[in-house]
Amino acid sequence: MNTGKHRTLVTGATGFTGGALASKLIHQGHHVVALVRENSNTANLEKLGVKLVIGDISDAAAVTKAAEGVDVIYHIAAVYRTAGHSDEYYHAVNVQGVQNVIDAALANNVARTVHCSTIGVHGDIEEIPSNEESPFNPGDIYQRTKLAGEELFAKAMSNDLPGSIFRPGAIYGPGDMRLLKMFKQIKRGFFPLFGGGLNLYHLSYIDDLTDGIILCGEHPAAIGQRFILCSNEYGTLKALSQTIAEQLQVKTPNFSPPIAPLMWAAKLCEALCKPLGIDPPLHTRRVEFFVKSRAFSNAKARELIGFEPKISTKEGVQKTIAWYQENGYL
């Protein structure tokens, strides 16, 4: 495909990753269309000059309309582990939404479509580092529906849909709010490392990640491939907490209570709350943050499409802290 200036569609552009991707595409001179839900916060996209199409990813007609005349689709939209959503809603967004994107791409003869999956489809890994061919082992409804969506997309690629799939690690950087709680706890001096924090954790810095996503949408060798897009380094959760503490100039977390009582409490909370339709105050998936390991190789993306992460964990943490402080979060 022509790697000049494109008309691109970004789904999920009001989110952290989709918004950063849309901004980068605009600054590279591309024309960007965003499919956005009614009443969503689109102020940043409007400032960038992004064309907005109102609609939901679960609405096939809206997705097809948004894809009219575009050269590349970057499908980032997904429902994450937010409270109060049924399993059916996860399926509607993370599975049927993918089918809607596939259908829209085919109906509009889109030259390239890129689908965002997650390294979470591998679950708690056994091989260190794992890679694109490592076994799938999704552990919750989010990961199961993301895997189902990825497999739908892979099947479409095998049937000649020109596209690629990427699995990012834990995405962070300026603008991220998911890891803010961890940074706040470390700054306050109380971030318990349940189980010792010896599980491995693999990050994807947002600017490096969006570079990789665009390579998936432009590089000829990306077609038909699945890529893991992570930083060049990974380490234990304990090491990450130490890096954050050092950059915040606070005491390094060293309290390591056992994991078993916390997991027991989480399971009890879920057993009591779910039948009543109440979001449990403690989830097993939150406890698993301290247990499950994530460590991957990005060699395939480096070798096939020239993916080159530039930001180390230390520098990424510095930049993230600076953004939090500038915006009054820390």
**DSSP per-residue string spanning 213-241:** HHHHHH-GGGTT-EEEE--S--EEHHHHH
Residue 32 lies in a domain: yes
Is there a domain that residue 96 lies in? yes
- Print burial letters for 162-194: b (CB count within 10 Å at least 16), e (below 16): bbbbbbbbbbbbbbbeebeebbeebbeeebebb
Number of domains in the chain: 1
Domain assignment of residue 226, yes or no: yes
Q: CA–CA separation, 297 vs 60, rounded Å?
A: 35
Kindly state whether residue 16 falls inside one of the protein's structural domains.
yes
- Asked if the structure places residue 265 within a domain, the reply is no
27 within a domain of the structure (yes/no): yes
Residue 291, pLDDT score = 86
CA trace torsion 290, 314, 80, 237 (10° rounding): -10
The predicted pLDDT at position 1 comes to 47
Question: Could you list the residue range(s) of the whole structural domain that residue 139 is in?
Answer: 7-175+202-231
Per-residue pLDDT of the chain (330 residues; tens, 9 = 90+): 445 688 999 999 999 999 999 999 999 999 999 999 998 999 999 999 999 999 999 999 999 999 999 999 999 999 886 656 788 999 999 999 999 999 999 999 999 999 999 999 998 888 999 999 999 999 888 899 999 999 999 999 999 999 999 999 999 999 999 999 999 999 999 999 999 999 999 999 999 999 999 999 999 999 999 999 999 999 999 999 999 999 999 999 999 999 999 999 988 988 888 787 777 788 787 888 888 899 999 999 999 999 999 999 999 999 999 999 999 999
Whether residue 192 is contained in a domain is answered as no
Task: Supply the pLDDT for residue 276.
Answer: 79
CATH number at residue 30: 3.40.50.720
Phi, psi of 168 (to 5 degrees): -85, 160
Residue 82 is predicted with a pLDDT of 65
CA distances from 195 to 10, 13, 198, 236, 293 (A): 40, 37, 7, 12, 12
- Domain assignment present for residue 279? The answer is no
